[in-house]
Structure 1
Amino acid sequence: MVVLAILALALCLFFALWYAISPQHVWRTFYAWRYRDRDANEPSETTYFLQRIGGIVGSIFAIIGIIVIIALALDGQAKEYERRKQIEGQQLQVQTVGHFPEA
C-alpha cells in the first residue's frame, strides 16, 4: 500500500514538474488537438505563469507527501519491530516460568 501511494505521488510529482518546467508543452500535448487553429487559441502568458506556479506548489506538496509516507512507513516498521520483540520476550518469560517446579 505504501509503494502504491509513493508511486501515485511520484506520478503527481512528474506532472507537476512538467507543468512547472514547460506549461506550453503540456498545453500542446493535451489541449491543442481540440482546436483547428491552435496558435489562435493558445493561453496567455499569465495563464502559463499561473500554471507554472501551480506546478511548483504541486511539486512541493508531492515531495512533502512522499517524505511523510516514507517516514510513517519507517516509523510503523520500527514500532512493529519493537512490538514483536516485546511479544517474543513475553513468550520467552512464559516458557522459562513453566520449567520451574512449584514449591
Structure 2
Amino acid sequence: MIFVYIMLVITAALCLWGAISPMGMWRGTVAWRYADPEAHRPSSSQNVATRVGCVVALICIAIAFPLLSSLTSQVDEQQEEEAYEECLDENDDDEGLLSPEDWCEDLSPEPEES
C-alpha cells in the first residue's frame, strides 16, 4: 500500500507542476524531442486544457488519499475479525479452564508470519 501512496504523491507533484506552469512542464518533458522546440510550442488552448486536466487530477488525488486510508483500515479490521472467528472455531472443542472467547481475546498467541 505504501507503493500506491508514493505513486499518488509523485503524480500529485507532476499535476501541480502542470497546473502551475503547463508551458514549463512542456519544456521539461516534450520540448527536448524537437530540434526546433519553438516551432512545436503548444497553443494557449492546449495549455489551458493541460492546466484544467491537472487541477481535476489533483482533486481526484486529494479525494483518493482518505478513501485509501479508510479502505486500508477496513481491510485490517476485517482481517482481525476473521482471525478471531478462526480462533473461535479452532478452540471451540477444547475443554479447559478458559472459554474460547477468553482464549482468543486474551491469551491467543500472535499468528505466525508465513
User: TM-score, length-normalised on structure 1?
Assistant: 0.75
**What's 1:22 paired with?**
21
Note if 1:54 corresponds to 2:40. no
CA RMSD of aligned residues (A): 2.2
Q: After the TM superposition, which of the residue ranges 47-56 and 4-13 deviates more from structure 2?
A: 4-13
| CA shift for structure 1 position 91 | 5.0
Higher relative contact order (CA 8 A, sep 6+): 1
Number of aligned residues: 97
In structure 2, runs of 5+ residues without a counterpart are 98-114
Give me the whole-angstrom Cα distance separating, in 2, the residues matched to 1:55 and 1:70: 23
**What's 1:45 paired with?**
44
1:9-68 Cα shifts (integer Å, max 9, x gaps): 222222112111111111111111122332232112111111000001111222222322
Query: Which residue identity lines up with residue 32 of structure 2 in the other structure?
Result: W
**Secondary structure in structure 1 of the residue aligned to 2:39:** coil
Note if 1:70 corresponds to 2:69. yes
In structure 1, runs of 5+ residues without a counterpart are none
Tell me the percent identity. Answer: 25
Output aligned runs, 1:31-42, within 5 Å.
31-42=30-41
Which consecutive segments of 4 or more residues in structure 1 shift more than 3 A? Answer: 85-95
| CA shift for structure 1 position 94 | 3.8
| CA shift for structure 1 position 87 | 3.8
